[in-house]
Every structure is written in structure tokens, then in C-alpha cells.
Structure 1
Amino acid sequence: MGALQKLFKHTFIYGLATVLPRVLGLILTPLYIHELPKSDYGIYSSLIVYLILGNVLLSYGMETAFFRFINKSERKAEVQATALTSIFISSLAFLFLGFLLKEFISDWLNYKVDFILYALLILFFDALVVIPFAWYRNQQMPIKYSAIKIFNVVINLLLNVFFFLVLPQIVVEDAQSIFEYALFDNKVHYIFIANLMASVVTFIVVLPLYFRIGFGFDRVLWKKMFLYAFPVLVAGIAFSINEGFDRIILRSLLPAETADASVGVYAACYKLGVFMTLFITAFKLGVEPFFFSHANKKNAKDTYANITLYFTIFGSFILLFVVVYTDILKLMLLPEKEYWEALWVVPFILLANLCLGIYHNLSVWYKITDKTSFGAYISVVGAAVTLVLNFVLIPHMSYKGSAIATLAAYSSMMIASFYFGQKYYPVPYNLRKIGTYLLTSILFSGLAFYVFDRNLFIGSTFVLLFLLLIVAFEKKELKKILLKK
């Protein structure tokens, strides 16, 4: 099987692990929007930002270090055991400190103590499965990986449906039911309880890997892994800022009486960017082990260039397709009209995520050359752009300013990574083709959304023209990849 064909096969399987759970999860968005006031949906959305940051802190780049060291070291067993033990001990320490400081954290972040406890436990159990999932990916077991991921979200979905729809009906029909004590006035509780229960079940499923890998700790090896991982941690923190701190800043800068509601409508319309996120995440899961395993191949740079080209083609098509059919997609994801006021941000969020995806492809140079500090520098610059522009634009443009800041941050990271990558690890990217696809998609998207006001006939014409462009330029190459034995 050819290298690219194998990559696309694994990306497809990992895509199932990403797309199917997210599709199931998308079902919950209309449920949340229907069941929760805009302000409560805003509270939930801003809390999720802290979970994203917490996941980065508790994994502290050890997943990427795991891939790098297990592929270049002869002591594979020691690498696995050291990574597993490191995250297990640090997660226990985090949970212990979190419980001691829960009241302080609650007052500082202005959330109920119950929500802080949910977050601590969810982060703890999610951290414990980081290395087991990395082990599955490194062993090229995408089906096992995908099955567990899908199982997790199915449980989450079923529990949400039970708490929001079934539980209230049970209590109405039987006032003496023991489930009466599980009712909450603030239904955000249900979201986090379901998430926590799903995380616990997932940990139980992967627990046998703890015995297979075993505990062990090589201090010298751990120090090398941590030094490699630390810039990845810094980059991850910066990524968390880029990904969600606009909601935190919105909540702090806007008037208190409208802040949570504004965060709610912005976060809801941000969900339409999930179609790009699904593609990027699936591709990243498949491509990261691939990059490391092919780093020493003779034609590695040409392969990386082709991967980036095809990623840009598919990503540009997704951008145009979602923008053109926003008015159809919003009926499925955002059935409540009161959330549609923030649809203006959708093209910006989609394009921002596409830039992020291209950045992930370009970032191969600093990962395989052990220059991960560049990843940290670039991500910190992106985070600085995010913070500065949000503080400058939000007072004047509200969530529109946040969308612009997100695009500015990710595009600056993409450009910086390309510049330094060509300096330290030059890859022969086909800039003419990449630029043609990207700029054509941006042009058509902008015209369809802002000039022709999402007219479906005109937008569909743009989609057709873009497909014809792909066929004209890539027909022979795509045939080779898809039909190669």
C-alpha cells in the first residue's frame, strides 16, 4: 500500500472516531439550545474553555514526546512506562490540589463549586487515557481507537438524552421516584455529569493497557522527554487561548447583564465551524504518527508537500460548501432563531480553522527536527494576537471582533510556520496550486455570503465551479492515489 493511500485510509478511520462522535454530539446542540437559556448556554460554553486548557496542562506535551521517543529509541518499553507513570502521578497531584482549592477557584472564576468539582474530575479521568490512546495510534490500531472514542460519545449522548428528556418525565409520572433528587434547576449540571460518567467508563475500558504497559520511571529518560515536550505544552496553552479565550474575554468585557447571552449566541454560531474542525482533527490524528514514521524516508519532503496540497484542496472545498449552505445547516444545528444574529462570524471561523489546519501540516518541520521551541514561539505570537485584538475589538464590535481576532491569530501562525520551516527544513510546496485553491475558495465564500446574501443558486454555482477547478488540476493525481494497490 502506498504511503499516501495508507495515510488516507487511517485518516478515514480516525475520521470515524472524530466525525461520528461529533455528529452524535451535534445532536446535543439543538437540545441544549432548546433546553437552556442563552445565558446558561454561555456559561456552559465558557466553562468548556477551561476544560480545553486543563486538558493541555495535564498532558503537558507528553503525547507528542511519546511519539517522538518511541520511534527513535530502542528502549520502547521504558518510554511507554515512563510516559504513563508521569501523567498518572501528575494527574493525582492535580486532583488533590484541586479539591483543596475548589472554593478559591470557584470565587476566582465566578462559577459554582459544583461546576469546579465536575471539571476537576473530568480532567483527571481524561488525562489518564492520554497515553493509552497514544499507544493505540502508535501501534496503528485506528479501529480500536475509534471504537472506544465512539463508545465514549454514545454514552455521553444517551446520558444527556436521559437527563434532559427522560428524567423530568419520570419524576412527573412518579413524584416519589428516587430520581427526584437528581433534578437540577440549572440544567448545565446534566451536561457535566454526563461528560464525567462517560470519561469514567472510557478509563475503565482502557485500564487493561495500564497492566500491559506497566508502571516504571526512568528519570534521565523522563527529563529528555519533558524537555522535548515543554515547548509543546507552551504551544498547547497558546492554542487554548486562541481556541476559546475569546469567550472568556467576552464574558469579562461585555455588560454583566448581557455577557453570558452574547457568549451563548457566539458559541452557538461558532459550532458551524465544526465541519472544518472535524476534518482537521481527523487528518491530524492520522498524519502525526505518519510524519514521524516517514521522517527518514528519502522522499519525505515530497510526500509532506503533497499531503499539504491535498489537505488544502479538501479544506478549501469544506470552507466554500459550509459557507454556501449555512442557511440549511443552521436549521439543523441552531433551530432557535434568537441565535442566528451571530451568523456573520461563520466564514471567519471556518477560514481561521482552515489556516490552523494548514499550520498543523506545516509544523512537521519543527517536530521531526526536534526544534519544538519554534512551535512554542509561533503559538505564543498567535496567542498574543488573539488577546490584543480581542481586548481592542470587543468593546467596539462584540463577538465580531472575536471572530476577526481568531482569523488573524491562526493566519499569522500559518505564515510564520511556513517562513521558518522553509529556512530550517525546506519542503517543495506547490505554492501556485495551494494559493489558487485557497484564494478561489475565499473569494467565492466572501461573495456568496456577504455580497449575494447567501443566495443558494449563486452559491451552488460557485461550489460547482470550484469542483470543476479541482477536476481540471488534480484528476490524474487523485486517480493515482485512490486506485493505487
Structure 2
Amino acid sequence: MNPLRKLAGQTAIYGLSTIIGRLLNYFLVPLYTYQFAEPGEFGVVTELYAYTSFLNVILTYGMETALFNFSAKADDKATVYSTALLSVLLSTTLYLALALGQADTLAGLLRHPDRADYVRWVAWIIALDALAALPFAKLREQQKAKRFALLKTTNILVTVAANVFFIGLCKWAYDSGAAGWLAWAAELYDPAVGIGYVFIANLIASGLTLLLLTPELAAAKPRFDVALWRRMLAYALPLLVAGLAGMVNETMDRVLLKYLLPPDIAMEQLGIYGACYKLAVLMSLFIQAFRYAAEPFFFSYYRQREARELYALVMNWFVIACSFIFLGVMLNLDWIQYFVGAKYRAGLGVVPILLMANLWLGVFFNFSIWYKLTEQTRFGTYLTVWGAVVTLALNIHWIPRLGYMGAAWATLACYGSMALLSYVLGRRFYPVRYDLKRIVGYPLLAVGIWQLTERMPALPFWAEFSFDNALLLVIFALVVVLERHRLPGPPPLRPS
């Protein structure tokens, strides 16, 4: 099969589960922002999930990528898998014991002394997700995209169903004083838990997902190769540092908003920013689906003579797709904004900035495959640490002055500078002839078209909706015509 089509097909499968599932999760945002009208309540969820991002990276410490790398080069893939899995199992058990034992202390340090239960639930979620990470990575390494997609979709569907049940039904029944056959639902709802039902729903889904991964867990033989483990750690630990720095880039803005803004508005501003961040979901969904498929794909083809031309071609189509996502969201923001409650819409200005920031994050991922292919993962650390420095410096400078808008601009500056540096370094260590005119040109074209439509006279909603989306289709058709000679891709390659 043509490798580009194979990558597109696997991206579609990963993307189908990720996009459908996360879109369903995205539809929970109206549930949260309308049921909990005060942004400060949603701010607690935004804050705690920001911490989970760091802990998820710490508890997997680069073992997923190490699994791909060492499995691709090993005759005994089973030992590679079992060694990585047993390592993560032990470290996760130690973490969970510590987190549960110190939950009250942690809640006090986070300035939520009355929400120690939230801390316990989040600790369990993190542990269960860490234990599931290696089985999911194994499915990707074996290119079992359909099973991966099924399990991920199940996780999201259960999360959505539990949220709808606890917050949509039980809270509504409680608030409305429902009687009769709905009285049981009102009795199930505890107002003291409140928005903590978000974590309970997630915990139920994570537990079920790990249970469904039992065949992959059971497939690991009781083998632990100490020498191999040390080599895997040497490869993976720079990725851990890079991953932590990456989480600084991705989520530290939500932490700093709480501590750099006046206490009387901090949680409200954090809630607004967290809700509007969700409106950029389509871009992050596409990038996540692409990464699931692309990382093992790039490793499979890196020894082929035409691999670098293939990587450049993948980049072109990736940027085109991201540019259309940006344009599609911005041309439809007039109605998309109603997915968040009225008090949250003050933050809509961050949406185009965050969309473009995520686009350049995806470009960075494409550029940076060189240091993974050449086993120079220390450069991943250097690049993401650079991004973390930019993130911290600009957030500290801009948040007190610009609020959440400063956080959004810092995110764009971070990912843009990381992409540029990775490209420069890649040209030295693993040169690929990327088409820079297209990589820069298509995003600029998307921003330009959006700005032109913003300056057009106001039209009735139906007319503006029809015009904007017809324009989007016309531009899409023109791009397909202009790029059609690139659609077939290079001759088929056999993966190594």
C-alpha cells in the first residue's frame, strides 16, 4: 500500500475515535458552563486537570516512545514490552500510595482544603491512565488501530454518559425538586460534591478502560531485563524532561493564572480561559490523531531511501489540513460561541490565537521527528526546555498585564519559536527538504481570509453562515486543484 495513504488511513481510524469521542466530550462544555454558571467552579476543574498533565508525563516517563524504538530494533519484542510495563506498574503503585496518603495535605497546599476528595479521585484517574498507557502504546506499535480506536471511544462514551447522568440528570432533578419517578435521581446528587462529579465520571471511565485492556496486560510475560531497562531509561529519561517541559508549555498558563492574578478574580478568569480553550478543540484533536498514527509510521519508514521526501510530503498536507481547521472554526465562531455559557464568552478572543498556537505545535512535532529517529533525544529536551523558558517568562510578564490574553499569546510564541529552532537543528542533523513556502503560506492565507471576512458588512445569520461556509468550500476546491499533483505521493515503500 502507498505509505502516504496508509498513514492517512490510520490517522482516519485514530482520528475517528479521537475526534468523535472528544467531540462528544466537547459537548460536555455546555453542560458544565450552563449547569455551573459561575466560572470559578469550572476553574477548579481546569486547575486540577492541568496538574494531571504533569503527573501523566511523570508516571509514563517516556516509556511509550522507548517501546516503539526498542521494539523496532529487537528480535524479542515481548521482553521489551514486559520490561516497560513492569517498570510503569511498580512506579505507579508507589505514586498512588503516596498520593492517597497525603491527599489532605495536598488539598491544603492547593488552597482547596475542603476538597481532599477531589485530590483522591484525580490521583486514581492518573494512576489508572498511567497503567493503560503501555498497553495502548503496544496496540499502536502493532498497528492495531481499530482496537485502539474502539477502546478510546468506549472511554469517552462512558465519560460522557456518566457526566450526563450525574450533572445533566441528577443535578437537574435536585435543583428542580423533581418528584415522582425522578426523585431517585435527585437523591443521588450531593451538592457538596458539585462539579466534582466531573472527576467521578472520569474515574469510572478510566477504570473500565483498564479492565478492557486486560488481554494486553495479560499478554505481558513476567520478564524484566535489567540491562534492557537501563538502556530504555537512558533513552526515555530525556523524553521525560522534554515531556515535563512540554506540559509547562501546554498547561502552566492555567496554573499561573491562579497565582498571578488578584485572588478575587483569579478562579473566574481561569474558568473563562479553560472553557474558551475548549473551543480550539478541533485543531488539537486532529494533531492528536495525527501523532498517534505518525510516530510509529515515521519509525517504520526511516531506513527507506525515499523516507525524507515522504516526511516532507506529510508535512505539506498536515499544514493544509490544519489551516482549513483554523479557517473553519473562525468562520463559524458566531454560532460556536454558544457552546459555552454567557459569562464565559468574554474570553472568545483567545480562540484564534490558540488555534494557531496548536497548528505550530503540530509543525514542531513534524520537524522534530529527526531527533527521535537518530536517537538524539537530548535535543527534544533542549527544545522543550527552551519552550518552557519562553512560556514561563512571557506568562509571568503578560498575565498580570493582559490576563488570559497574555497566556494565549505566550502559548503561540512558545510553539512558534520551538518549531523554528527544531527546523534549524534538523537541517544540520537530519536534513529534510520541507516546502517552507507552503508551511508558512497556508496558515498566513487562512488568517488573511478570516480577517477579510471580519471586515465585511454584517449580514443576517443565515446569510453569513451560508457565505462563509461556501467560501470555505471554494477555497478547499482550489487547494485540491493546485495540489492535486501531490496527492498520489511517492512510490510505495515497504516498512523496515
TM-score bin, normalised by smaller chain: over 0.9
Cα offsets for 1:439-462 (capped at 9, x unmatched): 21232234445x559974775576
Change (3 A) 1:76 1:292: same
TM-score by length of 2: 0.92
2:121 matches 1:118: yes
Q: Which amino acid aligns with 1:396?
A: R
Q: CA deviation at 1:466?
A: 3.5
Q: Provide the residue aligned with 1:369 in structure 2.
A: 374
Following superposition of structure 1 onto structure 2, how do residues 313-328 of structure 1 map, counting pairs within 5 Å? 313-328=320-335
The one of 480, 483, 492 equivalent to 1:474 is: 483
Correspondence 1:140-151 to 2 at 5 A: 140-151=143-154
**Deviation (angstroms), 1:271:** 1.0
Structure 2 runs not aligned, ≥5 long: none
In 1, distance between residues paired with 2:168 and 2:91?
38
- Residue 35 of structure 2 aligns with which residue? 35
Aligned mates of 2:453, 2:272 — CA distance in 1: 23
Alpha-carbon spacing, 1:176–1:307, altered in 2? closer, same or farther (3 Å) = closer
Structure 1 residue 54 corresponds to structure 2 residue 61:
no
Q: Match of 1:379?
A: 384
Percent identity over the alignment?
A: 38
2:24 counterpart letter in structure 1: L
Matching residue's letter, 1:152: N
Q: Return the alpha-carbon distance in structure 2 between the equivalents of residues 422 and 441 of structure 1.
A: 27
Secondary structure class of the residue paired with 1:129? helix
Provide the residue aligned with 1:96 in structure 2: 97
Q: Which amino acid aligns with 1:241?
A: V
Determine the structure 2 residue equivalent to 1:83: 84
Query: Which of 417, 435, 445 in structure 2 is aligned with 1:430?
Result: 435
Return the offset for 1:17.
1.7
CA shift in 2, pair 1:452/1:417, >3 Å: farther
Q: How does 1:252-291 map to 2 (within 5 A)?
A: 252-291=259-298
Spell out, residue by residue over 1:121-149, the C-alpha distance to the aligned partner (whole angstroms, 9 max, x if none). 00110011111101111111111000011
| Deviation by residue 1:117-175 (Cα, 9 ceiling, x = unmatched) | 01110011001111110111111111100001111111111111111133243884379
Q: Are 2:463 and 1:463 aligned?
A: no
CA RMSD of superposed structures (Å): 2.3
Alignment of 1:165 with 2:168, yes or no, is yes
* 1:465 shift after superposition: 6.0
Aligned residues: 481
With over 3 angstroms needed to count, the CA separation of the structure-2 counterparts of 1:137 and 1:397, relative to structure 1, is: same
- Counterpart in the other structure of 1:343: 348
* 8 Å Cα contact 2:69-2:299 kept in structure 1: yes
Q: Tell me the CA shift for residue 100 of structure 1.
A: 2.2
Partner of residue 105, structure 1:
106
Q: CA deviation at 1:179?
A: 7.4
After TM superposition, the score normalised by the length of structure 1 is 0.94
Aligned equivalents of 2:18, 2:373: Cα separation in 1? 25
**How far apart in 1 are the matches of 2:164 and 2:345?**
24
1:220 corresponds in structure 2 to: 227
Q: 1:9 to 1:392 in 2, by over 3 A?
A: same
CA contact (8 A) 1:366 1:375 kept: yes
Q: Quick one: distance in 2 between partners of 1:242 and 1:446?
A: 27
Q: Report if aligned partners of 2:169, 2:185 keep a CA contact under 8 Å in 1.
A: no
Q: Residues 229 and 173 from structure 1, CA distance in 2 versus in 1: closer, same or farther, beyond 3 angstroms?
A: same
Deviation at 1:371, TM superposition (A): 0.6
Query: Once superposed, which parts of structure 1, at least 4 consecutive aligned residues long, lie more than 6 Å away?
Result: none
Distance 1:215 1:327 in 2: 56
The yes-or-no answer on 1:5 pairing with 2:15 is no
Listed one character per residue, the Cα deviations across residues 246-292 of structure 1 (whole Å, up to 9, x for unaligned) are: 11111111121211111111111111110101110111111010010
